Amino acid sequence: MGCRPSKVAKSKLNPEKAEKKLRPGNKEFSTLASETQFTVNEVESLYELYQKLSVSVVKDGFIRKEDLHFALFRNNNKRSIFVDRIFDLFDVNRNGRIDFGDFVRSLSVFHPKTPEAVKMKYAFKLYDLRHTGYIERQELKEMVIALLGESDLVLSDDVVETIVDKTFVEVDAKGDGRIDIEEWEQYVTKNPSLLKNMTLPYLMDVTLAFPSFVINTEADESHL
Ligand SMILES: [Ca+2]
Ligand SMILES: [Ca+2]
C-alpha cells in the first residue's frame, strides 16, 4: 500500500462540490428518524451515502436511476424494470431525481423491521406499472419476465405464458381479469417469498453497511 503524502487534506481536494448543497439541519434528521425505521445516527449515515451516490454517475447532487441501482444491488451494469419502478416510487414529485427526504422514507420500506403490510402495499404499487390501481395481466407478465431475468433464468415464451396464466388465475380470486389490492394481499400472505425483494437485510445496520457503499474512492472509516 502506498504512502500517500499525508499533507494533502482530503477535504481540500474538492471543496466546491462538498459545499454546493446545504446539509439538512439536525431537526430534519430527527424528523426523518421519527418517520422511519432509522435512528438519527443512521439518517446521518444515509445522508453521507446520499451525497456519495448523488455524485457517482451524474454529478448533480441528486440521486438518479443509475445511482439507485447501485445502492440497492451494489452493481450498476444491469438495467432492471424493478429498479425503474422503485425509482418512480422514490421519485415522489416525478422530476427524475430523488431528494434526501424521499430517499430515507423510501429506503425505510425495505428495512427488515418494516411491517409486511407496508411492504405488501408498496409491492402492489411496484407491479401496477401503469398506475391504474390494479395489476393487469400484461403488467404481471412484464414483472415475471423481469424477475426471471434478474435470476438469470431463461425460459421460452410458452413457458412464461403458462406461468403468467396460472399465476394470474390464482391471484385474481374474483375472476374479473384484474388484480386488486385485496386479492394481492391474500395471495402474498399465502406466498410470502414474493416479498423477498422488499427487504434489504443490510439496512438493519446502515452504519456498518455504509463502508461498502463507498465507490472505489477514499473510505472515510477514520470518521466512524
Ligand atoms: Ca395497472
Ligand atoms: Ca380481480
C-alpha dist (Å) from residue 79 to 102, 108, 146, 193:
22, 23, 10, 23
Give the ligand at the shortest distance from the Cα of 174: 2
CA of 129 to the centre of ligand 1 (A): 6
Centroid of ligand 1 to alpha carbon of 128 (angstroms): 4
For residue 180, which ligand has an atom nearest its CA? 2
pTM: 0.72
Ligand nearest to the CA of 168: 2
Output the pLDDT for position 214.
42
Return residues with CB closer than 5 A to ligand 1 (ion): 128, 130, 132, 134, 136
Q: What length is written for the chain?
A: 224
Rg (Cα) of the chain, in Å, rounded?
A: 20
Give residue limits of the domains in the chain: 26-114+200-218, 116-198
Question: Whose CA is closest to 103, among 153, 59, 42?
Answer: 42
Which ligand sits closest to the CA of 137?
1
Q: What is the CATH number of domain 116-198?
A: 1.10.238.10
Q: What confidence tens digit (pLDDT) does each residue in 96-116 have?
A: 899 999 999 999 999 999 999
Answer yes or no: same fold for 26-114+200-218 and 116-198: yes
CB 33 within 8 Å of CB 42: yes
Look-up: residue for cell 443509475?
A: 66
Beta strands in 100-164, from DSSP E residues, in sequence order:
135-136
Q: For residue 189, is pLDDT > 90?
A: yes
93 CA from centroid of ligand 1 (Å): 20
Q: Which CATH superfamily is domain 26-114+200-218 in?
A: EF-hand (1.10.238.10)
125 Cα to the center of ligand 1, angstroms: 9
CA distance 197 to 151: 12
Q: What is the pLDDT of residues 118-129, one digit of tens each?
A: 999 999 998 898
Spatial distance between the Cα atoms of 34 and 40, rounded to a whole number of angstroms = 8
Distance 138 CA to ligand 1 centre (A): 9
Q: Which ligand is nearest to the CA of 184?
A: 2
| pLDDT score of 212 more than 60 | no
Ligand found nearest the CA of 183 = 2
**pLDDT, tens only, 43-101:** 999 998 888 888 877 678 888 888 887 776 666 566 677 778 888 888 988 888 999 99
